[in-house]
Each structure stands twice: as structure tokens, then as C-alpha cells.
Structure 1
Amino acid sequence: MSARAASEPLPTIHSVTTLKAEQERPHPVPVPARAPEAPARKRRSAKSLLLPILGIAVLAAAGLYGHEYWTEGRFMISTDDAYVQADMAFVAPKITGYVARLDAEENQHVKTGDPLVTIDDGDYRIALAQAEAQIDVQNKTLERITAQIRAGRAALGQAEAQKTAAAAAATNAARTADRTAQLVKTNVSTQAQLDDARTALDQANAALAGADAQVESAKANIGVLEAQYQEAESVLPNLRLAHDKAARDLSFTVLRAPYDGVVGNRSVEQGDLVSPGQKLAAIVPLNKLYIVANFKETQLPQLVPGEKVHFRVDAIDDAAFEGTVSSLSPASGAVFSLLPPNNATGNFTKIVQRLPVRIDVSEAALNSGKLRAGLSVIVDVDSRTAPPSTTASLH
């Protein structure tokens, strides 16, 4: 044990208890000094400046909105239930066959008459050649009958000449018989000579009758030939119709664009077997697009044909186009639906109906090339642009 330790007095019980109590006593928490009041004053002054500015801004915005509503908005009839439409044509074959070639691709621009799909035309070319051959055969038949008629008329002429000769011979025989009879009365000629004269007269008359029969036979033969010609000629129009049908079927092997547009929804490939009425593609005329806007029935009193329209397309940013109200549908969309509502049964809940309105798009909008059928549109109709006659009727 060191001398220092020996010299230090031992702690008493009281001192240990006091020391322990001082250690367990909570120490006072230091109070932070108060911040200076200058920043708080600055914040209050900033708030006092900001609130009037915000108030002025709100009032300015409200005034601007009110002015815009009073000058423009209250005259606008708006709806977002509107879509771009097109009277598109569906390309479908009229004949059956295998697709030999695809002449137009998906989304390709085509002109009127451009080929779209080519169907194998082998069978239809054979049918056309067969129809042409039948017409040629019938024409040859008509030529043969015509030649026979000419021959019959020549035979008729020969028979008529023979009849003329027989008539002359009969006249001569009659005269000879008369002279012989007179001579017999004067005993100049014998009875035998008179008999020979009368026999010759009978023969001449018989020959004349035969000539008449030959003339009638020749005429009848000509009539038969002319009837055959008419019969053969009556068959010719049917053959020509068959020829025209075969040519028409052959023309159907190439499906062409009915008007200018874009090919879409193509559902055929090379080698497919197609049948009449099967939809192969659609032609959308981008130069004939229009808008169908469904307005509420409460908006209809101010809607008339001829009003100017401003519309925006959801798919095109920062672009406004113009149009014109063309016509109003004769009935609401619910009437044309597959299952129109029957409000005469069950509980009735009134629902505002909508009427389709057609809007013609301006040439500038069409020429932009940005419009597509089916796009959503926001339409604003300016009721101030209504034609004067319709405006008077509204009031």
C-alpha cells in the first residue's frame, strides 16, 4: 500500500450516501437561447406580399375566364362524344378461286382502279374461250343456212322457168288440138291426128302442173331454210350472253380499288381459297372523312346545319381544325341500337338521349393527312354562325 493511500482517510457511510444522491439527482436541461425575431418578421412580410399577389392572380384568371365565357364560351355547343368516320368499302370477291397474287400491301395508298388482289384465272379463261368457240360455230351454221337459202332461191327460179316453158307448151298444144278438130270437121285431118293432138295437150297440161308443184316445193324449201336460220340466229344472243358472262367472270379475277384510299384490315394471303362475299380488305377514303358527334338532346335547340365547327383530335397535339354541321340524324342512337330500350315496362329512369350529328371536315383538315377514321374528337359548334333563315326560325 502506498503512502498516499495510507494517508487518505476512508470515506464514511454518510459521505457515500451523499455522493450517490448527488449522482442520481436529475441535471437541469439547458434552455436554448431565443432566436432573433428578424427572420420571423421577414416571413410575415413575405406572406403579406404573397397573399395579395395570389388574390390578384385569382381575380385576373376569373376575369379572363369570365370574359372568354361571355364573348365565346356561352355560344359554343361542345361534346367529347365524337369520332372521325369514313364510308369505307370492303373488298370481297364475286367468284371462287385461289389467290394468285397480292398487288397491294397493308396501309398502302391506292388510286381508283389499282389492282388489290389477283385470283387464278385459268378456269375463267377456258370458259371464255369456249364461249367464243360456240359463237364461231353458230356463225358458221348461219352462213351454211344462208348458202342453202340462196341455192333454194336459185332452184325456185329454175322451177318458175320450167313452169313458163310448160305453160307455153300447153298453150301450143291447145291451139294444135283446136286446129286439128276443125280440120277433122272438114275431113282434112283424120281422127287419129286429133287424138294425138289432144294427147299432146294433156301431156302439156300435166307438165305445167308438175312445174307448178316444183315452184311450190322450192318455195317451201326456202321457207324451211329461213325458219332454220331464224332458229339458229335466236341461239346466238344466248351464246353472246354466255360469252359476256365468261368475260365478266374473268374480269372479276382482279379485285380493284373502287376509289382513292388506303388499304386496311387485309385478311388474305397468297394461295388462300376465297369465295364470293368473303371480306379480304377495306379501302378507307382519307379524302372523304367526316365526324359523327353525339350531342345531348338538351343541346339540340341551337344545332342547325350550316354552323361552323372547331374540333380537336385527341391523337394530334396542339392542332385545331374546322368543319361545318352537315345534317342531324332522324333518330337518336338508342332507336337504332340492336335492342332499343322499352320504357313502358318496369321502373322508369330518365336518361338524357344523344342524337348523332354529321360534321363535314374542311379541305385543310383533310389535306393535313393526320386524320384517321375512329379517332376521338372534341367538338365545339359556334351557334353564332347559324344561317340567317335557321336563326330566325329558332327565335
Structure 2
Amino acid sequence: MAKGVRKIILSGVAVAALAGAGYGGVHWWAEGRFVESTDNAYVQSDITVVSPKVAGYVREVRVAENQKVAAGDVLVWLDDADYRARVHEAEATVEGQRAALQSNAQKQVLQRSIIAQSEATLASAEAERQRAAHEFNRTRALASNDWASRQKLDGAETDLRKADAAVVKARAELAAARDQIRVIEAADAEIAARLHQAEATLEAARNDLENTAIRAAVDGVVGNRGVQVGQYARPGVQLLSLVPLPDVYVVANFKETQLARMRPGQMVSLSVDAFPGQTLAGKVESFAPASGSKFSLLPPENATGNFTKVVQRVPVRIALPRDNPLAGLLRPGLSVVAEVDTRGAEERPHLAGDVFGAIIPNRAVAVK
């Protein structure tokens, strides 16, 4: 009796094992063989490092660690006394150049009056010269018939020479006045250039003053805050970081042998270690332009005598919807397990510019 029961149990176990193996085989054939998985994946975000554009002592810190901020909010105030003084100085320089430009315009008006006066003087001198010439010609004709004295002829000749000299002088004065207007116009262009330079300096000073208020460039959460009141801040030195938590994505580092059937747009199942039991749906967005080792601080040099082939990994960016179940809870750096469903890879074309956009079929190469 016991022997029969045992036989029945063993038969049931064998049938269950065969059924499980069959189900597993069918599942692997239908789905499993198309799934590429890796646990070398992490939550990432485009973290913004906040640093000042100008140097100065920190006057006020308006945010705390882990505080939410919106784009445009003031994070840190720098002491702006020196920058305000530079703005006032630049404004005074601009006003001075504008006054100089206005003064030069008045000089032009005055010089045009002088030119008009010189033209009138020249016209008067030419009229006087014409009168003196007529008088000289008349006196010379009378003197040739002894109707006028030699002394009167000499006086008429002297008057003509004086009139000629007056015309030459008037013409010279008119030319000088016209040259002076060109000098004033050139000075006007020079003053205008200095005015533009002063206005540019004023704009730069105002920008520096505005930059003493360090504002958030994006919506996010403050992290890695290292700034304190009284600290001397310099351009390029990190004060804090802003993490846009809703806008996170996953970077999965797949082996190069897993990439043949991967395409942008394929669905990805994501499991975050920090939230067991929660599965997120993502989508393959893009591939890195090179393997991770190529972007390392010291890329490997394989042209050496001691070469060991190592399977390379390529970062794959996986997009997450903003309304995913863990929106706002995911933090950059969390570990993720990513499973890419590569079914239908043959019908899904590569996008232009993808790293694996062109798969070249294997060809036999003759080695000479």
C-alpha cells in the first residue's frame, strides 16, 4: 500500500516537474529569450550645479538643505556694495559722454554760423576787389591821356592789390572754417564711440549687480549645500546643487553582447531596489556614443603586450514618464534592475544617429 502511494507521489512530482519545465520552456521561447536584463543600472537626473558669476562675500543664504525651489527664486545674495558703486560710476561716465556729445553738437551749430559769416566776408571781399579793379582800369585809362595823375594811378593799383589780398584771406578763412566743421564731425564720431563704450560698461556693471542675486535656473530640490553667510564666493566655485526630482531617468549599462536587438522605443521593465514590489514601465530613449570605459578618466590602452579582453558596457538611457507611480520619490543614484523587451526588433528601424544604427553583416575576410 505504501509502495503504491509512493509511486503515485513520485509520478505526480515528475508530471509537475515536466509541466513546470514545459511552461518555463514555452515562456522562455515566447518571451524570455527576447529579454535583455542588467542590474548595472541607476537612477539619474540632470543635476544643476549652482555657482556665482561674480565674486563677493555671501550676505544671505535663503534656502535650506532639501528645500524645494522654483526657477527664478533667489538662493543666495552676495554683498553688492562694490557693484552698486561701479554702476553709479558707469552711469556718471555715460552722462558725461552724452553731455560731451551735446556740447559738440552745439559747436557744430556755432561753426556753421562761422562758415556762413566767412562766406559773407568772402562775398564782400570779392565785391570790393571788383570795385577796385574797375577803379584801377578807369584811372589807368585816364592816366594814359594825362587826365589823371600818376599818384592817383598808384593809389588805385594799391587798392586793387589790397582787395586781392582780402579775397585770398577770406577764402582761406572760409576753407579753415569748413575744415573745422569736419574736425568737429570727426570728434562727434569719437565721442559717440566713447558713449557706446560707456553704455556697454554700464550694462556690464548692471549685469554684475544683478548677478549678486544667485537664482535657481530650474525647478528642483536643494542638495549638497556648502555655502554659508560670510563665505567668499568666487566664479566657478560650487555653492549648492539643484536636483529636478520629477525629471529623472535611468541609465542602464548593458554588455556589448546584449545590444544587437535593442532599439530606441522598446519597452523596459524597471525594478528599483529601494521600492521592492514596485515595477515601473520605461522606454529605451538613446544609446551612448561610446562605451563607458572611453569616457573614463584614464581610458584603457589595449595596444599593450598584456592584453585581456573584457566585455565592454554601453550606457543606455531609459526614459520614465513624469506620472510614474514613484514620481517625486526616485533619487539619483538609486540602484535599478532593467529588463528590455527586444521583441519585434526586426520591424523597428534604428533612428538616425543611433550608435547601433547600422549593423554590418558578417563577411569572410581573406587574410593575406
Name the TM-score class by shorter chain.
Answer: 0.7 to 0.9
Aligned to 1:94: 53
TM-score (norm 2): 0.85
What is the CA deviation profile of residues 44-97 of structure 1, one whole-angstrom value per residue up to 9, with x for unaligned ones? 999899877777766665555445434432321111111011121211112111
Change (3 A) 1:193 1:337: closer
Aligned to 1:16: none
Aligned to 2:353: none
Aligned to 1:29: none
Aligned to 1:148: 107
SS of the residue 2:260 aligns to: helix
Change (3 A) 1:47 1:272: farther
Answering whether residue 218 of structure 2 is matched by residue 259 of structure 1, we say yes
Whole-angstrom CA distance in 2 between matches of 1:304 and 1:318: 27
Give yes or no for contact 1:159–1:215 (8 Å, CA) kept in 2: yes
Structure 1 residue runs of 5 or longer lacking an equivalent are 1-40
Whole-angstrom CA distance in 1 between matches of 2:300 and 2:127: 102
Q: Structure 2 residue aligned with 1:364, among 307, 315, 323?
A: 323
Change (3 A) 1:339 1:179: closer
Change (3 A) 1:224 1:339: closer
- Matched pairs, number: 354
Whole-angstrom CA distance in 2 between matches of 1:152 and 1:284: 66
Answering whether residue 186 of structure 2 is matched by residue 227 of structure 1, we say yes
Q: Structure 1 residue aligned with 2:163, among 204, 216, 241?
A: 204
Give yes or no for contact 1:101–1:119 (8 Å, CA) kept in 2: yes
Aligned to 2:98: 139
Whole-angstrom CA distance in 2 between matches of 1:154 and 1:348: 91
Post-superposition offset of 1:267? 0.9
Range moving further from structure 2, 344-353 or 246-255: 344-353
Post-superposition offset of 1:390? 3.7
Aligned to 1:119: 78
Equivalent position amino acid for 2:38 in 1: T
Whole-angstrom CA distance in 2 between matches of 1:305 and 1:346: 38
Aligned to 1:313: 272
Give yes or no for contact 1:305–1:386 (8 Å, CA) kept in 2: no
Whole-angstrom CA distance in 1 between matches of 2:217 and 2:20: 54
Change (3 A) 1:341 1:181: closer
SS of the residue 2:63 aligns to: coil
Equivalent position amino acid for 2:43 in 1: V
Q: Structure 1 residue aligned with 2:249, among 290, 295, 301?
A: 290
Post-superposition offset of 1:121? 1.1
Equivalent position amino acid for 2:293 in 1: A
Change (3 A) 1:228 1:346: closer
Structure 2 residue runs of 5 or longer lacking an equivalent are 351-357, 362-368
SS of the residue 1:247 aligns to: helix
Change (3 A) 1:234 1:57: same
Change (3 A) 1:340 1:372: same
Aligned to 1:4: none
If each structure's helix is expressed as a fraction of its own residues, which one has the higher value? 1
Q: Structure 2 residue aligned with 1:375, among 322, 334, 338?
A: 334
SS of the residue 2:294 aligns to: coil
Larger Rg computed on CA atoms: 1
Q: Structure 1 residue aligned with 2:119, among 154, 160, 166?
A: 160
Equivalent position amino acid for 1:213 in 2: A
Range moving further from structure 2, 77-86 or 285-294: 285-294
Q: Once the two structures are aligned, what percentage of the paired residues are identical?
A: 42
Whole-angstrom CA distance in 2 between matches of 1:385 and 1:288: 29
Aligned to 1:277: 236
Answering whether residue 136 of structure 2 is matched by residue 177 of structure 1, we say yes
Give yes or no for contact 1:302–1:394 (8 Å, CA) kept in 2: no
What is the CA deviation profile of residues 277-320 of structure 1, one whole-angstrom value per residue up to 9, with x for unaligned ones? 11011122224322111112332222222211111111113221
Change (3 A) 1:344 1:164: closer
Post-superposition offset of 1:160? 1.2
Equivalent position amino acid for 2:331 in 1: R
Change (3 A) 1:341 1:141: closer
Answering whether residue 311 of structure 2 is matched by residue 352 of structure 1, we say yes
